[in-house]
Amino acid sequence: MQFMLLFSRQGKLRLQKWYVPLSDKEKKKITRELVQTVLARKPKMCSFLEWRDLKIVYKRYASLYFCCAIEDQDNELITLEIIHRYVELLDKYFGSVCELDIIFNFEKAYFILDEFLLGGEAQETSKKNVLKAIEQADLLQEVSNTGLHPESFVNPSCV
Amino acid sequence: MALKIVKGSIDRMFDKNLQDLVRGIRNHKEDEAKYISTCIDEIKQELKQDNIAVKANAVCKLTYLQMLGYDVSWAAFNIVEVMSSSKFTYKRIGYLAASQCFHESTDVIMLTTNQIRKDLSSPNQYDTGVALTGLSCFVTPDLARDLANDIMTLVSHGDCVKRKRCSVLIMYKVFLKYPESLRPAFPRLKEKLEDPDPGVQSAAVNVICELARRNPKNYLSLAPLFFKLMTSSTNNWVLIKIIKLFGALTPLEPRLGKKLIEPLTNLIHSTSAMSLLYECVNTVIAGQYCSSVGSVVLCVQKLRILIEDSDQNLKYLGLLAMSKILKTHPKSVQSHKDLILQCLDDKDESIRLRALDLLYGMVSKKNLMEIVKKLMLHVDKAEGTTYRDELLTKIIDICSQSNYQYITNFEWSVSQPVTPHPPGISVSWWTIRVFAVAQMATLLDNAHLLTGSMQRNGICEVLYAAAWICGEFSEHLENPLQTLEAMLRPKVATLPGHIQAVYVQNAAKLFATVLKSQEGNTDSTTAQETSQLMIDRLPLFVQSANLEVQERASCILQLVKYIQKLQQKDVEVAEEVIALFAGELNPVAPKAQKKVPVPEGYLDLTPPSESESEDEQPKAIFAKEEPKHSRPRHTEVDEKELARRREARKQEQANNPFYIKASPSSQKVYQDAPGVEHIPVVQIDLSVPLKVPGLPMSDQYVKLEEERRQKERAEKKKKEKKKRKEKRSGRGKKHDSGPESEEDITPAHMVDIVTEEMPEVRCVSLQIQFSTSRIFNELSPSSFWVFNEKKSSKHKKKKQKKEKEEKEKKKKKKKHHHHHHHSDGGGEESVQNGTVEEEEPLPVSVYDIQGNLQDGSQVVVSVIFENKCDSFLKSMEFNVLDSLNSKLQRPEGSGPHDGLTVPFQLPPGVSNEARFVFTVQSIVMPQKLKGTLTFIVKNEDSSTHEKLDFKLHFTCTSYLITTPCYSDAFAKLLESGDLKGSSVRLEGVNMPFHHLLARICFHHHFSVVERIDSCASMYSRSIQGHHVCLLVKTSGQTVSIDAKCDEPTLLGNVLDEIKQTFSQC
């Protein structure tokens, strides 16, 4: 996967994750172009489109569009699956996630994504494990915020 | 709930945290930029503080602002500071900010190396986690080099599964940035393929799969291991990756394909996961599994299920995969034409477009008419949308595909309003008329190119249409005078009578337009010159043997003479002349129209030399009435027109993204409810207003055609002897018999130089194949033929010996006619695109070599086989001795010396065409290929095996493709300095300059860029994209050609060939 974008129906970017190094200028250009293209598509259209030399897979959940760019040989259906998986994770984590959850806790949305995907590849396909990892990391954060030394809480044995 | 605790604690700590910022931005919608700039100032203050918590908060806010598009690169150093915090909370934020904001040119990245190393080896697995995640986003070559070892340590010694998994995944990124690390790391990576933990294993598969896609051959040795994994694994994520990997490997190792086919088919049969199924199907299609037809059939079946699914996504992917199969196995896809046509009704435009793409590839001679008919229905429905434009383009593409090779019936195509060459009259036509008129004018201007090749194709019918269009819509012409001039060239007189008649009539219309445009102009010379031009040129047509032409021409000539008289008295005549043809919709005065029926319905394409004699015969064969060119009046379409417009508006709204109705406003995820309703398309029957009285509509035509075919089939069964007779009676006739004969529809307009006067000369019958010229893009008379005859004949029968002399004489005559045609009386000519040296009594073959535009290394040779003897010929095998440079394309599995079976048999007196594809590596040199045709001659009592040797001459000219070029582009090309020059002088060329140019255009596939007096620039392009530019000058009998080309050898050969063309003048 090359990158993932989340944007609203109004075209506002809500989340961006780039797995290829690009300059800010390029990123902005691509984002603008893609948001326009995807928003112009009609609701009953299929989730795939060819764009430059990439394939775009997008899906709309309520007011949010989840949009991924994959290479020519990549599998569109598994990418849809990834998007869906991510939405499920957000939903579990926030409890009936909505756009505002992602706006106000955008760093959390990133952490969940990072726990699920690494360098554009699914690293953990089990939903349960991803959520467990996030919860533990949050706990760790909470502990360190309350002034205790983090190391004391770390459980060195892994999941 | 963990979240709630965290939220609460952060909230209390800072004045303005991320949530406040977001809220603030949402509350300042009007002056967002101003608000944010104050925020940034605050953040700058916060970053100056020593408190790491405040800094982390500031960095977090910056990350958000970065997403909104603000530049935060100035804070890069602060991000590094936060990254190096010992507290996980801040470290996490720091790494997140870094992964969002850093890129390869961020210079502070080099400061992070040590910090990352420390985090990677941290005992806290979460520190390692965030470091790896961050690294995956901003790894640079330097980081990759410095940290490769640390990552390797994690891979091999990691005590934690998660760490192992992540570090394996990140290795791919490291390899990309620092390829040197791959070699030492590879053994360990390979080890991980068999790791007990499925997560680690899957990560390793992932990495190797991605690596193998870039450079498959290094990973062939892993195939057995992957094969084992594939048959044992049940994880679909892993399976998809493995299958993809095999997809990359099989092209290198064909044996792998045979081995894989079984597990792949098993998976296709068994899996319920569509993603896996799709991956398998794709791999089977892309891999070298062609030997197994069964697997392709299975794939097509499965894809059919996908396409039939109600899920748009599956439909789309099914069509996408189908189009890949189409390239290799067109037959298996063609049987699903019904399904693909159904997809044209889909509400999703992207699916319709996919289906259109597929249709383009599925068209054959047999189904062209049906497909285009269906598409036309859709054009009507899609009025007013961009999709309609796409449809029209596709229809034109489909019809003109491969130089019109699929159009067997030009009469039909002329009845199609949007095909490139019709006097089509319909709404859709109406919208493109301005464009079309310009095209048609160009066409007329270049008509000399077409006329040369016309006797072997129906292309000159286009001129009929073009002339009419230009006359009728003359107000859209840029330069009516020039077109008028083009229409009155002496060469026109070589066209068939009915076309000439249209020319004359429309020349008059153009004349009227020119007069009108000159009206009011104080200088009346142009108007008078135009009259003079008419008066000078029309007598040629008055002398025409064709009554129709004669009658029209003499009428108009007298009229023009009268007008000229008035002009000389300075009387303003334009209004009156224009009134002759008044009425935009009803072009010709009804009476005049009635008076001058133009025979149509059967296209007589005999070359003029022959048709002249024929023209004197009564036109009994022209049974059909002429199509009337009047268009339905607006008044009668009003009601329907309104309905249609309403419909179009609806369509437009549906296509307009800003016209979306509000969606159900649920904010919750999972709804998947797209919100905007599909607007139902109301079907309106539009056939009435679009119908042109008199013109056979396409569907009627298809029906007629079908009836005719059925009748023929029935007749064939009776095995009658009337074949010849029928052929002469007009309609296309089946010439071939045998298994394939049902496959091809014989062109309705057979171009047949049949010697009716001398029926006893059985052997002389030369078939000329159908058009291959493109109309809009290029005017490429692809080639012509010359016959050489070998006298030696081992199998001469006594009876034939007697006839031989006669036959030869006849042949020469043919040849002469032929030449006469091309060169406009310019004498003998010699350059040939194709010559087949033939022996009788065996089949005559005529051939045409043409480059494949799509593929610069392919050349298609069409050969026409004609049986001139009394015996039945069968089991024909065509074989060519491959040279290093040119190879005959043979089906997979056959050896390099195997012949190709010609897919038909030839009864006596019958001919048929076969195409052979050659792969040519270098096109700079001409070459001759030797070949043999073996076949069995079957008599009533005996059958013998015979052989015929021939030579195929691939001239350099045959690699050139007529490509139009504008003078500015031409000038740029010459200025570029990339071209090398060469020149040639021709002495004793005794022909008008425009004949000379026409000859070069025709024989050598050039197009004229610009002509000034006795000097002209010409251009052509080879199938491999070489530009060839000529500057032709003439003075007296000497012609000098200066040429430039980016390939000097090619140029030299082309010039030699040009020289040869003229050397025999």
Instruction: Determine which of A29-33, B206-210, B505-509, B903-907 has the lowest per-residue pLDDT on average.
Output: B903-907
Q: Which residue, among A14, A23, A44, would best test binding to B if mutated, counting the most B CBs under 10 Å from its CB?
A: A44
**Nearest to B401, CA basis, from B374, B364, B373:** B364
In the DSSP assignment, the letter for residue B60 is: H
- Measured between beta carbons, the chain B residues lying within 8 angstroms of A122 are 237
Q: Are residues B426 and B495 in the same domain?
A: yes
Are residues A91 and B669, on separate chains, in Cβ contact within 8 Å?
yes
| pLDDT, tens digit (0-9, with 9 covering 90-100), for B752-797 | 333 333 333 222 222 223 222 222 222 223 332 323 333 333 333 3
Pick A118's closest partner by Cβ from B89, B123, B169: B169
| pLDDT, tens digit (0-9, with 9 covering 90-100), for B522-537 | 677 788 888 888 888 8
| pLDDT, tens digit (0-9, with 9 covering 90-100), for B822-858 | 333 333 333 333 334 333 344 444 566 666 555 667 7
Q: Which residue, among A12, A22, A42, A159, would best test binding to B if mutated, counting the most B CBs under 10 Å from its CB?
A: A42
ipTM, two decimals, is: 0.89
As to burial, measured by CB atoms within 10 angstroms (0-12 exposed, 13-18 middle, 19+ buried), residue B116 is buried
**What is the pLDDT at residue B1058?**
86
Name the strand (E) or helix (H) holding B819.
helix B798-823
- Beta strands at A54-61 and B960-961: parallel, antiparallel or unpaired: unpaired
Q: Are residues B873 and B966 in the same domain?
A: no
**What is the pLDDT at residue A89?**
92
Residue B882: which CATH number?
2.60.40.10
Q: Is residue B238 part of a domain?
A: no
- Whether the bond into B841 is cis, omega within 30 of 0: yes
Q: Is B71 helix (H, G, I), strand (E, B) or coil?
A: coil
Q: Is residue B570 part of a domain?
A: yes
How far apart are the C-alpha atoms of B647 and B656, rounded to whole Å? 14
| pLDDT, tens digit (0-9, with 9 covering 90-100), for B255-268 | 887 888 888 888 88
Q: Are residues B1019 and B908 in the same domain?
A: no
Q: Are residues B433 and B537 in the same domain?
A: yes
Quote the minimal CA–CA distance from B636 to chain A in Å.
36
Q: Which residue, among B88, B176, B210, would best test binding to A if mutated, counting the most A CBs under 10 Å from its CB?
A: B88
Residue at a domain's end among B580, B607, B629:
B580
* Domain range summary for chain A, segments of one domain joined by +: 3-146
B117 vs B668: which has the higher pLDDT: B117
Q: Is residue B435 part of a domain?
A: yes
Residue at a domain's end among B559, B580, B601:
B580
Pick A125's closest partner by Cβ from B173, B237, B675: B237
B160 pLDDT higher than 50: yes
Q: Is residue B779 part of a domain?
A: no
**What is the pLDDT at residue A83?**
93
Q: Does B275 touch chain A (CB under 8 A)?
A: yes
**Nearest to B462, CA basis, from B306, B605, B572:** B605
**What is the pLDDT at residue B735?**
42
Pick B22's closest partner by Cβ from A104, A121, A138: A104
Q: What is the mean pLDDT of chain B?
A: 70
Are residues B671 and A61, on separate chains, in Cβ contact within 8 Å?
yes
Q: Is residue B991 part of a domain?
A: yes
Pick B678's closest partner by Cβ from A44, A60, A110: A44
Residue A118: HSE in the Cβ half-sphere, 13 Å Cα cutoff: 31
| pLDDT, tens digit (0-9, with 9 covering 90-100), for B222-276 | 888 888 888 888 888 889 989 888 888 888 887 887 888 888 888 888 888 888 9
Are residues A42 and B676, on separate chains, in Cβ contact within 8 Å?
yes
Q: Does B61 touch chain A (CB under 8 A)?
A: no
Strands (E), B778-833: 785-789
Q: Is residue B1023 part of a domain?
A: yes
- Correct CATH for A3-146 of 3.40.50.12780, 3.30.365.10, 3.20.20.80, 3.30.450.60: 3.30.450.60
pLDDT-derived band at B680 (thresholds 50, 70, 90) equals very low
Six token digits for residue A133: 């990892």
Six token digits for residue B102: 């850093």
Burial B222-251 (b: 16+ CB within 10 A, else e): bbeebbebbeebebbbbbbbbbbbbbbbbe
Are residues B2 and A90, on separate chains, in Cβ contact within 8 Å?
no
Q: Is residue B989 part of a domain?
A: yes
Pick A119's closest partner by Cβ from B172, B674, B677: B172
Alpha-carbon torsion, ordered B504, B509, B511, B517, to 10 deg: -160
Q: Are residues B544 and B530 in the same domain?
A: yes
> Count of CB contacts below 8 A, A vs B?
232
Q: Are residues B910 and B1017 in the same domain?
A: no
Residue B991: which CATH number?
3.30.310.10
Tell me the DSSP string of B622-656.
--SPPPP-PPPPHHHHHHHHHHHHHHHHHHHHHH-
Per-residue pLDDT of chain A (159 residues; tens, 9 = 90+): 889 999 999 988 999 999 887 888 888 999 999 999 999 888 888 899 888 889 999 999 988 999 999 998 888 999 999 999 999 999 999 888 888 888 888 888 999 998 898 888 888 878 888 888 888 888 877 765 554 444 434 343 433
Q: Are residues B468 and B521 in the same domain?
A: yes
Residue at a domain's end among B515, B546, B580:
B580
Domain of residue B998: give its range. Answer: 960-1064
**What is the pLDDT at residue B932?**
84
**What is the pLDDT at residue B3?**
54
Q: Is residue B568 part of a domain?
A: yes
Nearest chain B alpha carbon to A64: B669
Q: Are residues B1009 and B867 in the same domain?
A: no
Nearest chain A alpha carbon to B5: A142
- With beta carbons less than 8 A apart as the criterion, state whether B55 and A140 touch: no
How many structural domains does chain B have? Answer: 3
Q: Are residues B927 and B975 in the same domain?
A: no
Q: Are residues B933 and B968 in the same domain?
A: no
**What is the pLDDT at residue B497?**
79
Quote the minimal CA–CA distance from A88 to chain B in Å.
8
Q: Are residues B862 and B926 in the same domain?
A: yes
Tell me the DSSP string of B902-962.
PS-BB-TT-EEEEEEEEEES--SS-EEEEEEEEEEEE-SS-EEEEEEEEEEEE-GGGGEE-
Q: Are residues B428 and B574 in the same domain?
A: yes
Quote the minimal CA–CA distance from B214 to chain A in Å.
11
Contact residues, B window 149-168, toward A, CB-based 8 Å cutoff: 159-163, 165-166
